[in-house]
Chains A and B, each alone.
Chain A
Amino acid sequence: MRAFLAILACCVATSLVRAENHVTWEITPPVCGPGQPFRLQVRIESDDVLGPANQVGKEIKPPRGMALRFSGQVFRANATEATLNFSGVAPEEEGTYVLPAFNARFPSQMVVVPAITLIVSSKTGYRKEGRARAELVLPDRTFYVGEKIAGSVVMRGSEQETVTGTFGLECEAEGFNFQTEGSSFTQPLQDGHGLTKTFELTPIRAGQGEFNLSGIMLVNTGDRISSLSTSGRDRPFNFRRKLSVEHVPETGRPADWGGSIGKLEATPPDLSNRFPEVGEPIKLKLTLVGEGNLERIVAPEIPGTDSWDITLASELRQRRSEGRRTFIYTLVPRLPGDQKTPAVRFATFNPDSKKFESVEFISVAVKVSGNAPAKVELVTMDPSAKIGTPAAKTITGLLTPTVAAGAKGVAKIEPLAASQPFWLSNSAALVALLLATLVISVVGYFAAHPEILVRRRARLALRRYRTAAQEAQRRQDYAAYARAITQGLRAGAAPLLQAEPLALTQSDILRALPSANLTLLTAVFLAADGAKYGAKDAAQAIAEDAQLQAMLNTLEAQL
């Protein structure tokens, strides 16, 4: 049991033991002159194996004006110590600068490097004239969104230190587009002791922004290492600058401005053929040169004229470093004779003068041969007007009104078609006219056909006498019955025989009614006229009432 507890206590004790790291640093020289290069060495001693450090350079945030770069690490395999080397350049101003604490990340652990203090003093006797140094060349003015800012880093050497190369150019700038021509594109200075690295900066939004540019130049110190090589070292540089960006002013901005910013010039136009024929296309090449955002320029539009049909053919985009931009247009002459290509004006904004300027491509004289097409009136006021007729004078604008004093007008402009009395009176007149026409037509018709009325009257009389006969039969008034029957027969037969009713006898009735019983007719007529002629008893006639009624019906049907 005691042995077990001892083993457990050992395990707990080993787990509670923490590995301790010991970090020291050294700056050479300890006190730097302004702009003097220095070396920083950070030594880390640990209880564990450290190995190679990762991303040390990205952890460091040097103070403003100081350039510092992680140069490398000296370590041995399975060693518990590591040495981190940095190279730097002291700031230009005197003072005490504190490099904030940063982390050194090793595979096994992360070691915190405490803050490091750098003292800069001009009393050190350091003379930077003889040392290699880097300078940022960038215009000190307000920049404009979209313009191309040409900048450079000039790395000047001396007889003691010559700059042999540069690498690792990095830019941190929000709101800017940073471009270089490639790491190999560096130009030597005229004295041969330095290099120039150019870059382009394009603001993409307005406002204040910080521009941070860092890099490393390779410096040859002239110290001879061997008979074949001399010693060299890398020396970092770092620039920080606040840049002010605005939009191109709207005041005075021409309508045809296409985003061009810079100091541009127009070269003389280049024409492919100065003696074309009518309808033969020729190429007009317009080239802009100068400093500016040439690649962002929109090709200017050239409208066609009476003499030329113009289209944009193509563009030639040179490399940025060439500083030129070419637009090629196709021109087709429409008319023969001595012509001139249209002059092209181009608006650009000069960031130095802060004003818009006009660049003009001059006209080129062209002699066009051939024949003109058939005469066509290009512009006529009236498309349907014949060629040659003078155009009618057109009214343009408002005319000066004249108002007659005291002229009586109308309170409301109502059409006559909306007038109710107009339509009522016309309708009434039309109805009256139609009615009169109808009446007169009817009257005229009956006047032309009188038999219609005669028969109608005979029919009415026949019915009336039939009714009277029926009344007399009900009263047993035999004489009246016979009279009514005979009058009915006479009234019914008269229109058929075209005779007067009173003039008809029973034989006349027989002509109108051939199927009638003559004996019965004679008896009825005798009974009707019995008072005058001593007729028989009319009671016999009543007994034959059915036959008599049938005769009346037959006559009525014939009317």
Chain B
Amino acid sequence: MSRFLTLLGLCFWGVTAPLRAGVGEAAYERGDYVEALQTWRAQAEQNGVTAELLAAIGNAEWKLGHKGRAMVCWERALLLSPRNPVALAGIKHAQGAGGTDRPTQTWSENYAAFLGADLWLILGALGFWGTLLAVLVPKLRRQAMGDWTQRVLITSATLFALSIPGLYGAYTLASRAVVRRTEVAVKLTPTVLGEALNGTAEGDVLRTGRKLNGHTFVTSADGKGGWVKSTELEPIWGGGLPANLDQMQAP
């Protein structure tokens, strides 16, 4: 019985050990980035990703030399928390010391990054419905628009109008991807043997456009366009932890 209890205790310890607070930070502090990464990844797989966790994983990945994975983590951390200081510092460091390229954000993208895409969409929906109901309800009730109805109409219409650039900026921000391979050729045509116009490196952030023939049209930070294999990119939206590109896809 005592042996069973000991084994049970060990199993519990083993399951919860990586998730204890400070284990990953301590490993990161002493330079053991592999253990820090494993700890945080286990935490993310169990509890899901948060902005802080993604930013921390991004730092560890960067320290291990995985520029593409680090940039994916930091960009996704900013999706969850647009002003996460660790992710912002990481991206700035990657652009400065790391030499990675990232498209300069337009004013609408900066505007959208102020609140986040989901919040802009909620505000836009509220503004839309408020405006619509404030206009329709008095008509349906065959009554004149009252004071409160007018206040609701103005407020909702303003909210809706303010959310439009935010929604547009969030849309363009979502149309970005991170280069995951070390040397990627930007081609003239979306074909395997397409002429290489220029190259892009791991960790660079590209604007993405339409997809064709397994390729994605991308625009680099300096405005040059071309086609890149879709498998060499990882979209910023639509994932948690960075994808393992070395893993074979299921048939």
Contact B47 A407, beta carbon cutoff 8 Å: yes
Contact B53 A409, beta carbon cutoff 8 Å: yes
Residue A400 is within 8 A (CB to CB) of chain B in the complex: yes
Mask, A401-422, CB within 8 Å of B = 1, is: 1111111111111111110001
Residue A395 is within 8 A (CB to CB) of chain B in the complex: yes
User: In whole Å, how far is B110's beta carbon from the nearest beta carbon of chain A?
Assistant: 14
- B residues 93-123 in Cβ contact with A at 8 Å: 93, 96-97, 117-118, 121-122
Q: A398-B59, A413-B239, A418-B238 are in contact. Are A436 and B140 (CB under 8 A)?
A: yes
Q: A412-B239, A416-B117, A436-B140 are in contact. Are A404 and B50 (CB under 8 A)?
A: yes
Which 9 A-B residue pairs are closest in the complex by CB-CB distance? Answer: A409-B48, A405-B21, A401-B56, A409-B50, A416-B118, A399-B89, A395-B89, A409-B49, A399-B86
Contact B85 A395, beta carbon cutoff 8 Å: yes
Nearest CB to that of B45 among chain A residues?
A: A411
Contact B50 A400, beta carbon cutoff 8 Å: no
CB-defined contacts of A395 to chain B, threshold 8 Å: 85, 88-89, 92
Residue A515 is within 8 A (CB to CB) of chain B in the complex: no
CB-defined contacts of A433 to chain B, threshold 8 Å: 132-133, 136
Residue B145 is within 8 A (CB to CB) of chain A in the complex: no
Instruction: Name A401's contact: one of B25, B96, B139, B237 (CB within 8 Å).
Output: B25
Residue B79 is within 8 A (CB to CB) of chain A in the complex: yes
Cα separation A414 to B88 with both chains bound (whole Å): 21
User: In whole Å, how far is A430's beta carbon from the nearest beta carbon of chain B?
Assistant: 8
Contact A403 B89, beta carbon cutoff 8 Å: no
Residue B160 is within 8 A (CB to CB) of chain A in the complex: no
CB-defined contacts of B133 to chain A, threshold 8 Å: 433
Residue B76 is within 8 A (CB to CB) of chain A in the complex: yes
Count of A-B residue pairs with CB < 8 Å:
123
Cα separation A395 to B84 with both chains bound (whole Å): 13
- B residues 59-98 in Cβ contact with A at 8 Å: 59, 62-63, 76, 79-80, 85-86, 88-90, 92-93, 96-97
19 A-B residue pairs with CB within 8 Å: A395-B85, A398-B86, A399-B89, A400-B28, A402-B52, A402-B56, A403-B40, A403-B43, A403-B50, A404-B52, A408-B50, A409-B47, A410-B240, A412-B239, A413-B238, A415-B79, A415-B121, A437-B139, A437-B140
Contact A414 B25, beta carbon cutoff 8 Å: no
User: In whole Å, how far is B209's beta carbon from the nearest beta carbon of chain A?
Assistant: 18
Residue A426 is within 8 A (CB to CB) of chain B in the complex: yes
Main secondary structure of the interface of A (DSSP, over half): loop
Residue B134 is within 8 A (CB to CB) of chain A in the complex: no
Residue B224 is within 8 A (CB to CB) of chain A in the complex: no
CB-defined contacts of B125 to chain A, threshold 8 Å: 426
Mask, A381-406, CB within 8 Å of B = 1, is: 00000000000000111111111111
Residue B164 is within 8 A (CB to CB) of chain A in the complex: no
Contact A410 B48, beta carbon cutoff 8 Å: yes
Contact B59 A401, beta carbon cutoff 8 Å: yes
- A residues contacting B by CB (< 8 A) are 395-418, 422, 426, 429-430, 433, 436-437, 440, 444
Nearest CB to that of A426 among chain B residues?
A: B125
CB-defined contacts of B19 to chain A, threshold 8 Å: 405-406
Known contacts A398-B90, A407-B52; 7 additional CB pairs below 8 A are: A398-B93, A403-B40, A409-B47, A409-B50, A413-B238, A415-B121, A440-B140
Residue B221 is within 8 A (CB to CB) of chain A in the complex: no
Contact B117 A417, beta carbon cutoff 8 Å: yes
Q: A404-B52, A437-B139 are in contact. Are A398 and B43 (CB under 8 A)?
A: no
User: In whole Å, how far is B99's beta carbon from the nearest beta carbon of chain A?
Assistant: 15
Nearest CB to that of B136 among chain A residues?
A: A437
Contact A405 B20, beta carbon cutoff 8 Å: yes
Contact A403 B53, beta carbon cutoff 8 Å: yes
Q: A395-B89, A399-B85, A403-B25 are in contact. Are A413 and B140 (CB under 8 A)?
A: no
Cα separation A406 to B76 with both chains bound (whole Å): 20
Contact B237 A414, beta carbon cutoff 8 Å: yes
Cα separation A512 to B93 with both chains bound (whole Å): 92
Residue B24 is within 8 A (CB to CB) of chain A in the complex: yes
User: In whole Å, how far is A541's beta carbon from the nearest beta carbon of chain B?
Assistant: 51
Nearest CB to that of B53 among chain A residues?
A: A403
User: In whole Å, how far is A135's beta carbon from the nearest beta carbon of chain B?
Assistant: 61
Cα separation A429 to B92 with both chains bound (whole Å): 44
Contact A444 B89, beta carbon cutoff 8 Å: no
Residue B142 is within 8 A (CB to CB) of chain A in the complex: yes
CB-defined contacts of B246 to chain A, threshold 8 Å: none
Instruction: Name B93's contact: one of A396, A403, A404, A429 (CB within 8 Å).
Output: A396
CB-defined contacts of A402 to chain B, threshold 8 Å: 25, 52, 56, 86
User: In whole Å, how far is B234's beta carbon from the nearest beta carbon of chain A?
Assistant: 12
CB-defined contacts of B24 to chain A, threshold 8 Å: 403
Contact A403 B88, beta carbon cutoff 8 Å: no
User: In whole Å, how far is B96's beta carbon from the nearest beta carbon of chain A?
Assistant: 8
Nearest CB to that of B118 among chain A residues?
A: A416
User: In whole Å, how far is B242's beta carbon from the nearest beta carbon of chain A?
Assistant: 12
User: In whole Å, how far is B196's beta carbon from the nearest beta carbon of chain A?
Assistant: 32
CB-defined contacts of B49 to chain A, threshold 8 Å: 409-411, 413
CB-defined contacts of A396 to chain B, threshold 8 Å: 89, 92-93, 96
Instruction: Name B86's contact: one of A401, A416, A436 (CB within 8 Å).
Output: A401
Contact A397 B89, beta carbon cutoff 8 Å: yes
- B residues 1-31 in Cβ contact with A at 8 Å: 19-22, 24-25, 28-29
Cα separation A404 to B19 with both chains bound (whole Å): 10
